[in-house]
Amino acid sequence: MDVLEKILENNNIKPTAMRLLVLQFLLNRKVATSLTDVENYFAKSDRTTLFRTLKTFVEKGISHKIDDGTGITKYALCEDNCHCEIDTDLHLHFHCTKCNETVCITEYKIPPIHLPKDYTAENVNLVVKGICDKCNSK
Amino acid sequence: MDVLEKILENNNIKPTAMRLLVLQFLLNRKVATSLTDVENYFAKSDRTTLFRTLKTFVEKGISHKIDDGTGITKYALCEDNCHCEIDTDLHLHFHCTKCNETVCITEYKIPPIHLPKDYTAENVNLVVKGICDKCNSK
DNA sequence: GTAAATAATGCACTTCCGTTGCATAGGGCA
DNA sequence: TGCCCTATGCAACGGAAGTGCATTATTTAC
Ligand SMILES: [Mn+2]
Ligand SMILES: [Mn+2]
Ligand SMILES: [Zn+2]
Ligand SMILES: [Zn+2]
């Protein structure tokens, strides 16, 4: 059986044609992906289907949503050791203001955050804006 | 002269009636404020005027925009020692998932963030979600 | 194998928020 | 008073997320 199908079935996602294609697309991309990105790539497909495909991937835990501050939701497949399903996936995201791309920075964890008395943290979103490695080496 | 007028004039903002009212409203609020919040309070006023008032406050540096991840832009007046005008106002924001309110946490600074080689940071947005002090003490 | 049930897809439409264009009103100044 | 610049108000637009519902595809039941 195909490796893509395996990924989906291991996560209780029925491997339909569209889902396999979207999964492959996401696997090949190195940067976080918006619905519009997917839509442009699969020009013939319907936006709603793609939207719901991405939503399913997030719900089933193979992908996570990224709010990078641009106002456009991005998605990225989870690493093997990712635990976003418990809503505490604490890696940070970097948004390059030059090439406009957003990436997961999984090498470094978010440092512990100090909060005032009686505040309880459940989740942290850390987005760093700046210039990415590719843009800096041009 | 009124203290509110002084704040505006010190920052090159013509103290119109509407602007004074909005400023007072923001001063009295202890939590970050959305355009809709302002709109609801000044029910008789026009949305656009309020929008542009908030925009002016940000541009002139007496207020800063907050992206708390809810998708709704919030605004909060800057503290005296705030330097958001140079885009490096590095305090964090806390969004309570119970009362839905967002506050500036100015007591603690954002810890230094490690980035991979060749990445340059220009700005950081850190939003912690959880339960606020008020909601926790109920 | 056929029929019923279930799930996925596609199209249209909605909602929400931020934003802009343009005409009008107001306020300082010659 | 008349002029100019800015602020205001109304309307409309735009992008993106999301929903309702009919249609199609795929299981499952018989
Ligand atoms: Mn990520
Ligand atoms: Mn703040
Ligand atoms: Zn870049
Ligand atoms: Zn609260």
Taking the C1' atom of every nucleotide in all shown strands and the CA of A71, the nearest one is: D16
Report CB contact under 8 Å: A108, B125: no
Report CB contact under 8 Å: A127, B124: yes
Q: Which domains does chain A have, with CATH numbers?
A: 3-136 (1.10.10.10)
pTM beyond cutoff 0.85: yes
CB-count exposure of residue B72 (10 Å: 0-12, 13-18, 19+): middle
Which residue of B119, B132, B133 to mutate against A (max A Cβ within 10 Å)?
A: B119
How far is Cα of residue B17 from the mean position of the Cα atoms in its chain? 21
* pLDDT tens, chain B, 138 aa long: 689 999 999 999 999 999 999 999 999 999 999 999 999 999 989 999 999 999 999 999 999 999 999 999 999 999 876 665 545 567 899 999 999 999 999 998 888 899 999 999 999 999 999 999 999 998
Cβ atoms of A90 and A124 within 8 Å: the answer is yes
